[in-house]
Chains A and B, each alone.
Chain A
Amino acid sequence: MCGIVGLFLKDPKLEPQLGALLADMLITMTDRGPDSAGIAIYSGAGKGKAKITVQSSTPEVDFKTLDEDLKDAIGTPVLILIKSTHAVLEVPLAQMDAARSALSHLRPNVKVMSAGESIEIFKEVGLPKDVARRFDVAKMSGTHGIGHTRMATESAVTTMGAHPFSTGSDQCLVHNGSLSNHNGVRRELKRQGMTFETENDTEVGAAFISHKLQNGETLGNALEATLTDLDGFFTFVVGTKNGFGVVRDPIACKPAVMAETDDYVAFGSEYRALVNLPGIEHARIWEPEPATVYFWER
Chain B
Amino acid sequence: MQTFDLGAEGLRALNSALHALKGQTNMTEWEVINPKGAHAIAAGVDAPVDITVRGSTGYYCAGMNKLATVRVKGSAGPGVAENMMSGTVIIDGDASQYAGATGRGGLLVIKGNASSRCGISMKGINIVVHGNIGHMSAFMAQSGNIVCLGDAGEALGDSLYEARLFVRGTVKSLGADCIEKEMRPEHYAIVEDLLRQGEADTKAKPEEFRRYGSARKLYTFNIDNASSY
Contacts and interface: CB of A to CB of B under 8 A. Distances in A.
Q: Do A and B come from one complex?
A: yes
A285 interface: yes
Given A250-B135, A290-B116, 7 more contacts: A257-B96, A270-B59, A271-B58, A272-B38, A275-B37, A285-B75, A286-B94
A272 B41 CA distance: 13
A196 B36 CA distance: 40
A290 B96 CA distance: 12
A270 B75 contact: no
Contact of B96 (A250, A251, A275, A287): A287
B58 A253 contact: no
B17 to A, nearest CB: 22
Contacts of B134: 290
B interface secondary structure, majority: loop
A287 B135 contact: no
A274 B78 CA distance: 16
Interface in B60-90: 75, 77-78
Contacts of B115: 252, 287
A131 B223 CA distance: 56
Interface of A: 250-253, 255, 257, 270-275, 285-287, 290
B78 A255 contact: yes
B58 A272 contact: yes
Contact of A255 (B75, B94, B96): B96
B94 A275 contact: no
A287 B118 CA distance: 14
A interface secondary structure, majority: loop
24 contacts: A250-B135, A252-B97, A252-B116, A253-B97, A253-B116, A255-B77, A255-B96, A255-B97, A257-B96, A270-B37, A270-B59, A270-B77, A271-B37, A271-B56, A271-B58, A272-B37, A272-B38, A272-B58, A274-B37, A275-B36, A287-B94, A287-B96, A290-B116, A290-B135
Interface in B91-125: 94, 96-97, 115-116
Contacts of A290: 116, 134-135
Contacts, number: 39
A58 B75 CA distance: 48
Contacts of B59: 270
B36 A272 contact: yes
Contacts of A285: 56, 75
A287 B59 CA distance: 14
A257 B78 CA distance: 11
A238 B115 CA distance: 23
A127 B89 CA distance: 36
A255 B96 CA distance: 9
Nearest to A288: B115
B116 to A, nearest CB: 6
A253 B98 CA distance: 10
Contacts of B78: 255
A257 B58 CA distance: 11
A271 B135 contact: no
A-B residue pairs, 3 tightest by C-beta: A272-B37, A271-B37, A275-B36
Chain B CB within 10 A, most for which of A255, A271, A272, A285:
A271
Interface in B22-62: 36-38, 56, 58-59
Contacts of B75: 271, 285
Contacts of B135: 250, 252, 290
Contacts of A250: 135
Contacts of B38: 272
Contacts of A274: 37
A147 B78 CA distance: 22
Chain A CB within 10 A, most for which of B37, B59, B96, B135:
B37
Given A255-B78, A275-B37, A290-B135, A270 B58 contact: yes
Contacts of A287: 94, 96, 115
A123 to B, nearest CB: 25
Nearest to A286: B94
A257 B37 CA distance: 11
A255 B37 CA distance: 13
B133 to A, nearest CB: 13
Contacts of B36: 272, 275
A253 B77 CA distance: 13
A275 B36 CA distance: 6
A287 B134 CA distance: 11
